[in-house]
Structure 1
């Protein structure tokens, strides 16, 4: 009796199954790395702090804070320290004077970093038996003092890019619907950005910036996500969309630093998070909503690059579709003849 050889279909299905199993395993491991590793190693990392006072006092404090948790810069006087906090050059400032320690913080710049700085200053004042005063120069709003509404904006911004890209790809498929998908993605980003900003600023009272500037920033963030995913789907199909969505959810979301601020993540992870659309969107929202646009240039440029990347992908997909249609037209005419 002869043994029947495996059919090509079964061999192909076996390979496909192996690829799916390995791919899912890689996704699970990537998810674990993205969520677990930053959490295990989170905490203060090179939090910039401004210090002023007598030479001996500032030298002693700088020596005490010489670990990886703090990055100390010395300023000439208290006015310079306060300006550095307001301009986001440092996360907080410490003014040392005989019998008193004054701390300037910016809770809206990073609540956990502010808490760490406040705890450090309180311990230092207790050690030196000095009075301590903590002034929050950039707090969250009085309606939302813990910044819960601001922190909750991460997922709406992410899904505001993912869901329209998915729906538009299904409703207007193929090369014929490409331009409709592009127009729909841009329109949705603008409308959703203004709607989310209105809810956070006037509904929950969580934001305090100029409404239309904050809205445009949110629209830019959602547009960066939507156009990138639309471009990946148009050029690479479902696999492209899945890859982009996985990167956004598995890396962009946990590394965005929206609730904690980037200085609470390990340095490499924090840098990566700020280069991805969710992290850049969160930083842009923070700058516009609480710091009058100070520090908005970097994240806005990052999001602009992602928008350009998405547009390039869509342009490539459009040209490929045009060439394919031109190549198919003579064959269709020949069949009619």
Structure 2
């Protein structure tokens, strides 16, 4: 008679291994969704477009454009249209005259949006056998006409907030080092903001505009990220830091719209991206570096809220104080 051997029950280590493997697989799926879905669904999404011309021509253009791709606003003349583009009310515009279409763009507001406006205007003009003239009201600087340096600023913004948070947490650990972490995070944000802006503006020529204004904005963006991560770590430990870093990397980075502009993402994705530090930092840098601060108010407010949140978390952790070990009575200790 053969004795059947019952396999041993899974040990705690086995269950732990299974949980880790499943968790890592879930992280990969989340990363794939966060990076792939916005790219797959990218394109004009109610992209603000200005139009000027006769009432008949304006009405014809408005009716011909898909409503889910373009948000068309009519302007009285070309001066009003150009002012709307420079004030960032619309991403581009069409000035319609008999036999001619003038396309006004602002590449620095979003290169992909500019390309979409130009392609749409060329297709429309070809159908009407009209000539097309393209005028870029706010291009990228001549030293970096494609905006490569500006687009590449996404990773320095993100890792410039994550790495110092890790280093400060390791060097000044625990409750005793909390205030040093706070001071170090703020000092790093200011120094990094001015240094990164100097490199992009004077080193690569990727930025224009007022250097001081752009540097202050970059410092605010760095502070928002550093302070939030330090605050999460102070209150919840490395689990809190990991949660914050995951949100920044998996959502903040792909949804920032730094290269394309927020109108290139679906509405929900774009809104979420702009209320996270990377998206708000990119929008603030774009506003300060190319549009003299026009449109900087909202992203600056978002970043200030994140920085204050991080500070509040650190203050709460500071008030809780260090964990005091529970004293064991001497007689009980002897019995033990």
Instruction: Please tell me whether residue 276 in structure 1 is matched to residue 276 in structure 2.
Output: yes
CA drift at 1:320: 1.6
Name the counterpart of 1:192. 192
Name the counterpart of 2:302. 302
Q: CA RMSD in A?
A: 2.2
Name the counterpart of 2:158. 158
Measured in 2, the distance between the counterparts of 1:171 and 1:20 equals: 28
Measured in 2, the distance between the counterparts of 1:275 and 1:11 equals: 44
**TM-superposition CA deviations, 1:301-323 (whole Å, max 9, x none):** 1101110111111111111225x
Name the counterpart of 2:110. 110
Measured in 2, the distance between the counterparts of 1:300 and 1:13 equals: 47
CA drift at 1:19: 3.5
Measured in 2, the distance between the counterparts of 1:39 and 1:154 equals: 16
Q: Normalising by the residue count of structure 1, what TM-score does the alignment of the two structures yield?
A: 0.92
CA drift at 1:22: 3.1
CA drift at 1:23: 2.4
Measured in 1, the distance between the counterparts of 2:19 and 2:273 equals: 28
Name the counterpart of 2:232. 232
Q: Normalising by the residue count of structure 2, what TM-score does the alignment of the two structures yield?
A: 0.92
CA drift at 1:187: 0.5
Instruction: Please tell me whether residue 209 in structure 1 is matched to residue 209 in structure 2.
Output: yes
Name the counterpart of 2:55. 55
CA drift at 1:17: 3.2
CA drift at 1:100: 1.4
**TM-superposition CA deviations, 1:178-205 (whole Å, max 9, x none):** 0001111110010000000000000001
Measured in 2, the distance between the counterparts of 1:12 and 1:320 equals: 33
**TM-superposition CA deviations, 1:78-121 (whole Å, max 9, x none):** 11111100000000011111121111100000000000101111
Name the counterpart of 2:181. 181
Instruction: Please tell me whether residue 32 in structure 1 is matched to residue 20 in structure 2.
Output: no
Measured in 1, the distance between the counterparts of 2:90 and 2:296 equals: 15
The 5 Å alignment of 1:6-21 reads: 12-21=12-21
User: Which has the larger share of helix?
Assistant: 1
**TM-superposition CA deviations, 1:182-230 (whole Å, max 9, x none):** 1111100100000000000000011001001100100111111111111
Measured in 2, the distance between the counterparts of 1:53 and 1:15 equals: 69
Aligned residue for 2:294, secondary structure, equals coil
**TM-superposition CA deviations, 1:118-145 (whole Å, max 9, x none):** 1111122222222211111110001110
**TM-superposition CA deviations, 1:284-309 (whole Å, max 9, x none):** 00000000000000100110111011
Measured in 2, the distance between the counterparts of 1:241 and 1:103 equals: 47
Measured in 2, the distance between the counterparts of 1:148 and 1:24 equals: 33
Measured in 1, the distance between the counterparts of 2:327 and 2:199 equals: 54
Measured in 2, the distance between the counterparts of 1:157 and 1:283 equals: 12
CA drift at 1:26: 2.2
CA drift at 1:18: 4.0
Name the counterpart of 2:96. 96
Instruction: Please tell me whether residue 134 in structure 1 is matched to residue 134 in structure 2.
Output: yes
Instruction: Please tell me whether residue 291 in structure 1 is matched to residue 291 in structure 2.
Output: yes
**TM-superposition CA deviations, 1:258-279 (whole Å, max 9, x none):** 0111111111111111111000
Measured in 2, the distance between the counterparts of 1:218 and 1:81 equals: 30
Measured in 1, the distance between the counterparts of 2:251 and 2:72 equals: 30
Aligned residue for 1:145, secondary structure, equals coil
Name the counterpart of 2:22. 22
Measured in 1, the distance between the counterparts of 2:227 and 2:12 equals: 34
Measured in 1, the distance between the counterparts of 2:277 and 2:22 equals: 27
Name the counterpart of 1:146. 146
Distance 1:236 1:13, change over 3 A: farther
Gaps of 5+ in 1: none
